Amino acid sequence: MGWKATFREGALAGLIGAGVVALWFLVLDAVIGRLFFTPAALGSALFLGAQGPWEVQVTASTVVGYTFVHVAVFLAVGMVFTALAVQGERQASVLMALILLFVVTLTLSMGLMAIVASWVLVELTWWAISIGNLLAAAAMGFFIRHRHPVLGRRLREAEERGAAEEGTAGPDWRGPGPARPGQEPHVRPRGPSTPEGGEEV
């Protein structure tokens, strides 16, 4: 995959994540009866230095201004995710970096909110922020895994290899099979050949 394709895919992944989080908080704000309060609170804290919910200004400038920041952050994260996914298809060792990035993404937003304005973290509640980030990470992960089927196979192999090392692997585990020319070794379960690799005949 060329850098242009990686850029486009990363941007799309970032837009998906940003959209999921925005939709989640839009629904929460609507249920509570304070539409657009979340982006307005974050925008007021970031641009106006608001010190509490009483200083939140639900205006186009705060909502749209923070939305731009929100989307820009997710675009950057999406591009990093995609770049790691491309490398993960070639080098299994990169998978750990991909997993760690997911974990960091889940905690980064709460850390940033605590730095910008701790009252925002209290007002929005940690569980709502965590759920929004989990939904975004899951949506981005599903999209990237769908676009990179080899990555999904490597993740399954890593899980099976870890289970084998812990002694919890199933009876079909046989360890990595021999590599074909130009390919890295992959797990071969017992049984007939499958599209993802099986017993060679």
> pLDDT per residue over 62-97, tens digit each?
999 999 999 998 998 888 888 878 777 776 666 666
- Amino acid identity of 160? E
CA distances 161 to 58, 99, 170, Å, are 52, 16, 11
161 versus 57: the higher-pLDDT residue is: 57
pLDDT at 28 (0 to 100): 95
The number of beta carbons lying within 10 Å of the beta carbon of residue 43 is 27
Q: What mean pLDDT is reported for the chain?
A: 77
Residue 52 has pLDDT above 70, yes or no: yes
Smallest Cα–Cα separation from 19: which of 70, 61, 59?
Answer: 70
Claim: this prediction has a pTM higher than 0.85: no
The number of beta carbons lying within 10 Å of the beta carbon of residue 100 is 11
CA distances 184 to 82, 87, 117, 150, 180, Å, are 21, 13, 48, 11, 7
Using one digit for the tens of pLDDT, what is the confidence trace for 135-160?
988 898 889 888 877 766 766 666 66
Domain boundaries, the chain: 3-153
- Write out the chain in H/E/C secondary structure: CCHHHHHHHHHHHHHHHHHHHHHHHHHHHHHHCCCCHHHHHHHHHHHHCCCCHHHCCCCHHHHHHHHHHHHHHHHHHHHHHHHHHHHHHHCCCHHHHHHHHHHHHHHHHHHHHHHHCHHHHHHHCHHHHHHHHHHHHHHHHHHHHHHCHHHHHHHHHHHHHHHHHHCCCCCCCCCECCCCCCCCCCECCCCCCCCCCCCCC
Per the CB < 8 A criterion, the answer to whether 22 and 73 are in contact is no
Show the tokens assigned to 189. 């379960």
